[in-house]
Structure 1
Amino acid sequence: MKIHWDEARCCHAGICVKELPQVFKVEDGRLEIDAEAAPEAEIRRVVGMCPAAALAIEEK
């Protein structure tokens, strides 16, 4: 599973960072994503919570 972040769509609500900080981290103003740092079900749940639909999952 690969997670894509669309910076142009992002409304910076911070839900992803608050819900799964081990996966979604802001470093130097950019969102860094570690898709291996949590169970897939948890990542899918948080991606689905994104109010701007700025996060998307690509199946491998």
Structure 2
Amino acid sequence: MSGGLLGAIAILKKTFDKYAGSDGDKGTLSKKELAVMLKAEIPGAGVSKVHIALQERL
């Protein structure tokens, strides 16, 4: 993968694909999938006000 913007987009897509689909729909992240992704990909962050706000907006 190349660096820069295209590299960042590729990483985002790969991460999305890794967590999306456990509920049967690979095209979306459920609230549960989002929570699992945030906890796994941002260790040490815990469940912060930002995570809660993101989940509530969905």
* TM-score, structure 1 as length reference: 0.30
**When you count helix as a share of all residues, which structure comes out higher?**
2
- Computing the radius of gyration from Cα coordinates, the structure with the larger value is 2
**When you count strand as a share of all residues, which structure comes out higher?**
1
